[in-house]
Structure formats: C-alpha cells, structure tokens
Structure 1
Amino acid sequence: MIKSTNGETPFSLTYGTEAVILVEIGMPTLRTAEVDMIKNNEDLEINLDLLEEKREQAAIQEARSKAKMEKYYNAKVRSTSFRPGDFVYQNNKASHAEDGGKLRPKWEGPYEVTEALGRGAYKLRDCNGNTLPPTWNVCNLKKCYMHGM
C-alpha cells in the first residue's frame, strides 16, 4: 500500500524492495512459488545499488507535491491587515475568556488597534482605554464594521 505522495512505500525506500508478508510465505502464491534464489539475490543487489537514486526521485516528487499544495493554498488564502484606528473583534479562544458553554459569544470587543507591530501582531485597546497584551495571530481578529471604517 502506498502511503505517501511520492508513490513509494516507506519499506521500499528503506530496504530497496517491497515487503513479503507472512501470509505469502505460508501459502504459495505466484510471487513466492516461482522464486529463483540466485536471481533473487542478484535482483536485491541491483535494487540496493539503485536505492539512493530511488530515494532522490522520491524526495523530488515529494517537493513537487508540496510546492503544488503550497501554490493552491496561497491562491486561496486572503491576507488581512489592520491599521491603527481600526476596530476589531477578538476571538474568545484567543483571549482565554471564561467558558460560557455553547451559547457564549464567539467574539468579544470591539477593540481599537493602537499599533501594528509587524508580522501580524497588533496592540489593542478596549473602550475603557485599557491596553491589552499584544495579539500575535491575525486569525484571532476580525474587522468590526459598526465602529467606523
């Protein structure tokens, strides 16, 4: 069974050949019944010689697959940034608010952005003028459109 995006099993990348399961050894199958041990040993040596190349090809395929996923993700993601003076709501999970059950509000605020610290970090101030600790994850904020734009 192939378990990764490179088309190889972890066993074949480690040992250079596919695994033979115990059931195949106990019950004769086409794979185990017609085995020529001398030719089998020669094939195993060839597979071990080609193992490094096989691993390199798997690494190239893995990198290609990851680049494709990254390109897809980057095409779909929207960048969000806030400026000082913007009003935002903060996710309750981010602020570690008391758990009020499933009926509690998911967002709290509004908070005013007082400073953009860079790389998605912001300083916030509540309506009483108290400064909150910096918020480092922009995913935990959403724009508040009721308090000015």
Structure 2
Amino acid sequence: MPTYRTTAVDAVHNDEELRLNLDLLEGRRERAAIREAKAKLQMTKYYNARVRGVTFSPGDFVYRSNDASHDVAGGKLGPKWEGPYEVTEALGDGAYRLRSMDGTILPRT
C-alpha cells in the first residue's frame, strides 16, 4: 500500500535537493570543527588558569608515587607514596634523578 510520501516524491527534484544538502554538508563540518576548536581552547584556558606548575631543584626532598616502582604491594590500603628522596639532578620535562636517604641512586623505572 503506497503512502502519500512515496507517491508524491519527485525524483528529479529530490536528487537536486540531495546534491544541495551534500554541498552544504562541508560548510556544516567546517563550522563544527571551529566550534570544537573553540571549546578545546576554552577548556585549555580553564585548566591552565588553575593548574599549579611544580619544579624541583637539586637538594630538594620529594616523595615518589608507589605506582612508579611497585616497591610496596599493600593493596588498597597500602602506602601511595614512598620516600623521602633527594633530587640530585633535574633532567628536564619534569624528570629528575633521585637519591635515597642512604645515598643510593634510584634506577629509572
């Protein structure tokens, strides 16, 4: 049983409308990409306004996350941090060479 929608469609006019929609689709994609970039920029500004950069210099004492070495396997209630360690050298990009309190240099993990 044909419906009004299927009987009233004009194939030539419908093809023209589909081509027009395809032509306009690229513009919509560009606008969506611009909106996405703008939203990412706003999130970056929001994050950077609130984040606190921390740098250490040689001689500072720091704690290291237990996740890095898995030295103590205490499970859920185990210690989250280990240390204190002394920073002996700043390698750059937030990487540091650490020395334990007994004087041994910690290996890279």
Into which bin does the TM-score normalised by the smaller protein fall? 0.7 to 0.9
**Contiguous gaps of at least 5 residues in structure 1:** 1-27, 136-149
Q: Pick from 100, 103, 107: which aligns with 1:129? A: 103
Higher helix share: 2
How many angstroms does 1:104 deviate by? Answer: 1.6
- What is the DSSP-based 3-state SS (H/G/I as helix, E as strand, rest coil) of the residue aligned with 2:89? strand
What SS does structure 2 have at the residue aligned with 1:123? strand
| AA at the equivalent of 2:55 | S
RMSD, aligned CA:
2.2
Q: Which runs of 5+ in 2 are unaligned?
A: none
1:105-120 correspondence to structure 2 within 5 Å: 105-120=79-94
TM-score (norm. length: structure 1): 0.62
Larger Rg: 2
Give identity over the alignment, percent.
60
TM-score (norm 2): 0.83
Question: What is the aligned counterpart of 2:9 among 8, 14, 36?
Answer: 36
Equivalent position of 1:11 in the other structure? none
